[in-house]
C-alpha cells in the first residue's frame, strides 16, 4: 500500500513538471489514458465502498437507497455507520393461513408485503459484506470486514425501531437476523461478559422490551436505553454490554434552543447525561435535534460533537456533508 501511494505521488509530480503533459496535449498521455480506461486492473474485490469515510452519523434511510446515493455521489460523500428503521409485526391472511412477516414502515398505512426487514435491510447488508469479505487465493484465512473499505473494523450500528407488540416483534426480528448470524457478522455477547464486535451491531429501540435483552447472557442484539434516565434506579444496572448506545429526545432532555446558545443549565444537563453514559461504557445519541434555522441546527451539531456524543442524529445527509 505504501509503495502504491508513493508511485501515485511521483506520477502526479511528473505530470505537473511538464506543462505539455499537464495541459493534456500529449498524444502519448492520451494514448495511456485510453488504454487504461475501464481496465479491471484498477479495481479490487473490496472497492465497493472505496473512498467512503465513515462518520458518526445516524439517519433514517433504506440501506439499499443509502448505499446507492453514496456510490452515486462518489468518494467525497461522508457515510453513516448507523441505520435505524421502523419494524411492524404484520399478519396478512391468505385464505385460512396466517403468515407472519416482519414489515417495515413508519405506520400501518406505509406497510406493503414487499417492504420487509429482509428485503430492505438484511439482504442488502449481506450483499455488501460478501463483497467486503471475498474468497480468493490471496485470502489465507477467513475475514470479518465491515462495510467500510476505508475502516474495516468500524461496526454498522443497526437500530431497529419496534412499532408493534415488543415481545412478539422482537422474536420475529431475532429470527430474521439468522442470515447475518450464520455468517458471523453480528456483534455478540458471551456469558454476559465477553463482547465481540462484529461488522453489524443490532440495537433494538422503540417497543423493544428490556427484560428480553438484559437478562440474556448469550445474544447478538442489544437495547437502546433511555439516555436521560440512566441515573434512575430502574436503569442502574445497564452498561455497554446491554446498551452500547443510549438515546433520548434532545428537546425533552436538554430543552429548546434559541439561536446559537444553550444556557448553563442546558450545558450541565447535557454533560451529566453524556458522562453518566460514558462511565458505563455507553455511547450517547440525541434525536429530535433542531433542523431549522440552519445556523441553530449547525450550532447544536457542533455542540453535541464537542461534548462527546457517540452518534450524531441527522436525517439530511447532504446537509451533513456541507457542514463538515
Alpha carbon distance 151, 24 (integer Å):
35
**Residue 291, pLDDT score:** 86
**Nine cell digits for residue 65:** 437507497
User: Tens digit of pLDDT for each residue in 258-291?
Assistant: 888 999 999 999 999 999 999 999 999 999 998 8
Does residue 177 belong to any structural domain of this protein? yes
pLDDT tens digits, residue range 88-108?
444 332 222 223 567 777 777
Number of H helices, E strands in the chain: 12, 16
Which of the residue ranges 104-113, 198-207, 253-262 would you say has the lowest mean pLDDT? 104-113
Average pLDDT of the segment spanning 12-17? 40
Number of domains into which the chain is organized: 1
Q: In terms of pLDDT, which residue wins out, 53 or 220? A: 220
Helices (H), 140-291: 166-176, 178-182, 250-253, 264-279
Considering the domain boundaries, does residue 124 fall inside one? yes
Tell whether the model's pLDDT for residue 72 goes beyond 50.
Answer: no
Encode pLDDT of 165-198 as tens digits. 889 889 999 999 999 999 999 999 999 999 999 9
Q: Helix (H, G, I), strand (E, B), or coil: what is residue 94?
A: strand
Q: Grid coordinates in use for 309?
A: 456524543
At residue 265, the pLDDT reads: 96
Give the residue numbers spanning the domain of 59.
Answer: 55-323
Q: Residue 294 above 50 pLDDT?
A: yes
The reported pLDDT for the residue numbered 171 is 92
Across the chain, what does the average pLDDT equal? 77
Is 113 domain-assigned? yes
317 within a domain of the structure (yes/no):
yes
CATH assignment of the domain containing 148: 3.20.20
CB atoms within 10 A of CB 225: 27
Of the candidates 318, 312, 323, the one whose C-alpha atom is nearest the C-alpha of residue 55 is: 312
| Angle of CA points 117, 123, 125, to nearest 5° | 100
- Domain assignment present for residue 125? The answer is yes
Amino acid at each position: 500500500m505504501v509503495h502504491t501511494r508513493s508511485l501515485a505521488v511521483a506520477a502526479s509530480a511528473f505530470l505537473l513538471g511538464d506543462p505539455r503533459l499537464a495541459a493534456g496535449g500529449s498524444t502519448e498521455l492520451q494514448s495511456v489514458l485510453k488504454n487504461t480506461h475501464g481496465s479491471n486492473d484498477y479495481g479490487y474485490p473490496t472497492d465497493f465502498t472505496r473512498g467512503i469515510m465513515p462518520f458518526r452519523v445516524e439517519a433514517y434511510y433504506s440501506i439499499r437507497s443509502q448505499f446507492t446515493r453514496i456510490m452515486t455521489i462518489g468518494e467525497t460523500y461522508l457515510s453513516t455507520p448507523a441505520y435505524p428503521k421502523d419494524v411492524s409485526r404484520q399478519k396478512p391472511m391468505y385464505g385460512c393461513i396466517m403468515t407472519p412477516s416482519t414489515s417495515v414502515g413508519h405506520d400501518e398505512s406505509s406497510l406493503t408485503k414487499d417492504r420487509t426487514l429482509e428485503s430492505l435491510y438484511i439482504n442488502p447488508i449481506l450483499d455488501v459484506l460478501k463483497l467486503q469479505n471475498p474468497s480468493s487465493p490471496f485470502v489465507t484465512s477467513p475475514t470479518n470486514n465491515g462495510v467500510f473499505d476505508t475502516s474495516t473494523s468500524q461496526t454498522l450500528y443497526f437500530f431497529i425501531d419496534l412499532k408493534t407488540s415488543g415481545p412478539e416483534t422482537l422474536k420475529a426480528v431475532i429470527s430474521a437476523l439468522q442470515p447475518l448470524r450464520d455468517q458471523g457478522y453480528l456483534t455478540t455477547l458471551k456469558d454476559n461478559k465477553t463482547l465481540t464486535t462484529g461488522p453489524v451491531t443490532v440495537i433494538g429501540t422503540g417497543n423493544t422490551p428490556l427484560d428480553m435483552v438484559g437478562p440474556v447472557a448469550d445474544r447478538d442484539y442489544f437495547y437502546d436505553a433511555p439516555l436521560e434516565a440512566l441515573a434512575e434506579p430502574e436503569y442502574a444496572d445497564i452498561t455497554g454490554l446491554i446498551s452500547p448506545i443510549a438515546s433520548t429526545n434532545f428537546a425533552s432532555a436538554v430543552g429548546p434552543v434559541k439561536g446559537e446558545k444553550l444556557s448553563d443549565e442546558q450545558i450541565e444537563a447535557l454533560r451529566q447525561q453524556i458522562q453518566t453514559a460514558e462511565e458505563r461504557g455507553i455511547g450517547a445519541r440525541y434525536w429530535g435535534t433542531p433542523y431549522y434555522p440552519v445556523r441553530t441546527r449547525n450550532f447544536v451539531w457542533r455542540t453535541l460533537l464537542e461534548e462527546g456524543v457517540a452518534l450524531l442524529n441527522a436525517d439530511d445527509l447532504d446537509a451533513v456533508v456541507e457542514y463538515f
